[in-house]
Structure 1
Amino acid sequence: MSQQKILLQPRSIVVPGELIAEGDFQIPWSPYVLKIGNKYYSTIVGLFDVKDSQFEIIPLEGSYYYPKVGDIVIGLIDDIEIYGWIVDIKAPYHAYLPASNLLGRPVTPGEDLRKYLDIGDYVIAKVENYDRTIDPVLSVKGKDLGRVTSGIVVDIMLVKVPRVIGKNRSMYETLTLESGCSMLVANNGRILANCPSQLAEKVLILKI
């Protein structure tokens, strides 16, 4: 077992690509931490915290998305429960996608939901229900909703969403024309891009 080494002080601000720890840590899977070999890197601008010899990265408040019913979001499957999925939508709290909503039928007892959506998968969904008393509930019923099967997902700051779309979709059309990519810009600061080549992907990411 390799030696565990946390490289930052608790409550440090981290940026994407910053090395935060080395060794073999048994931390819960997180979209904000990238493990390469025995090294751990931040994937976002956030707050690095340590508790009981373990660590986590908390997105800064300015990067939070606050859901509204009817919003289209690109969610990241974070966990699987008996009757549905826990979904990261870049909000201060997780969203829930009922399996019955995706399957169009009740869940069979003991059914392996990983066959449909696994941890690390992306899903395009609509915020169906949310208020201050319950976590957001998602739906994938509708045109172009469901599991992401192709393309790349790019995270942007929420303040950039209106700029990427632009007035009368002008910036959106410029980006798609110059890169050759098609894009879905979700309300929660994630973009799904389908590009003809890796070079086109790089062009799009640089322009965003």
Structure 2
Amino acid sequence: MEENDSVFEKVREIVVPGEFLGKDMNNGPWTYRIGNEIYSMRLGIKSVRGKGVGVVPLAGKYIPKVGDLVIGIVSDITPNLWYIDINSFNPATLHVADVPWRVDFGFTGKYMNIGDSCLAKVKAVDETKIALLTMNDKGLKKLSRGEVVEISATKVPRLIGRGGSMINMIKEYTKCRILVGQNGRVWIEGDLENMAMAIQAIKLVEEKSHLIGLTEIVKDMLENAKRGE
């Protein structure tokens, strides 16, 4: 009987809330300090960089930060603003003053209606973590074509990869245009076969994000898909 290759997949260190992470280090995201000892706040992957240690949560809602690029879906409209679902605990708001169109009062639905998608930037975040968005910047726009898929917001850094290595590899193999929002939404445009391949690769990154050697795993999947295997 052949042995299952997955037995030999190397898993990055997964920690649970309250688990000891190290001492005499700088505490990073999703950690807390007791004296000189650092502990985890979340179920996630231990991340050590230099003299710092943090945790990358395995799941969770997007927490907006000023300057983040997000892919939103219009959930409601009023005469002078849109409510945008950004995969967070609360919908964000997008005012008519923060879009690239001249919108007369009461005509918001003419430009974006419920269910439409857009690429926007987080302009501000209030004390309740409700985000104010803007589309008044280069490259920000309504996403009229393509498809939006969703992954856990905590997996976005793995999808992008170091220096953009992972997402650029997926773009190269699939020849698709791909935009990644920090909120876990990904917009893909291309022919149907290549879009399906890109979605498969993106979902594989989400599923296997805890493994070492993820780039090679995704590359093998893309090469097999190209060969029709």
Instruction: Decide: shared fold, TM above 0.5.
Output: yes
Give the structure 1 partner of residue 89 of structure 2. 92
Residue among 103, 114, 117 paired with 2:109: 114
Q: 1:163 Cα shift?
A: 1.1
Give the structure 1 partner of residue 50 of structure 2. none
Superimposed CA distance per residue, residues 103-144 of structure 1 (whole angstroms, 9 cap, x where no aligned partner): 555x544x3211100000001111001121462110000111
Give the structure 2 partner of residue 65 of structure 1. 62
Q: 1:100 Cα shift?
A: 2.2
- Per the normalisation by structure 1, the TM-score is 0.65
Partner Cα separation in structure 2 for residue 142 and residue 100 of structure 1:
12
Structure with the bigger percentage of helix: 2
Residue among 181, 193, 196 paired with 1:199: 193
Larger Rg: 2
Give the structure 2 partner of residue 148 of structure 1. 143
Superimposed CA distance per residue, residues 31-84 of structure 1 (whole angstroms, 9 cap, x where no aligned partner): xxxxxxxxxxxxxxxxxxxxxxxxxxxxxx943100000100000000001210
User: 4+ residue runs of structure 1 moved beyond 4 angstroms?
Assistant: none
Identity of aligned residues (%): 35
- Per the normalisation by structure 2, the TM-score is 0.60
Q: Secondary structure at the match of 2:166?
A: helix
Partner Cα separation in structure 1 for residue 129 and residue 152 of structure 2:
25
CA contact 2:100–2:136 (8 Å) conserved in 1: no
Q: Secondary structure at the match of 1:199?
A: helix
Structure with the bigger percentage of strand: 1
CA contact 2:64–2:129 (8 Å) conserved in 1: no
Unaligned runs of 5+ in 1: 1-60
Superimposed CA distance per residue, residues 124-179 of structure 1 (whole angstroms, 9 cap, x where no aligned partner): 11100112146211000011102112211110112221111111211111101111
CA contact 2:170–2:201 (8 Å) conserved in 1: yes
Corresponding residue pairs, total: 145
Higher relative contact order (CA 8 A, sep 6+): 2
**Mapping of residues 120-131 of structure 1, within 5 Å:** 120-131=115-126
Measured on the aligned residues, the alpha-carbon RMSD in Å equals 1.8
| Aligned AA (2:108) | L
Partner Cα separation in structure 1 for residue 76 and residue 138 of structure 2:
25
CA contact 2:60–2:153 (8 Å) conserved in 1: yes
CA contact 1:63–1:90 (8 Å) conserved in 2: no
Unaligned runs of 5+ in 2: 1-57, 203-229
Give the structure 2 partner of residue 182 of structure 1. 177
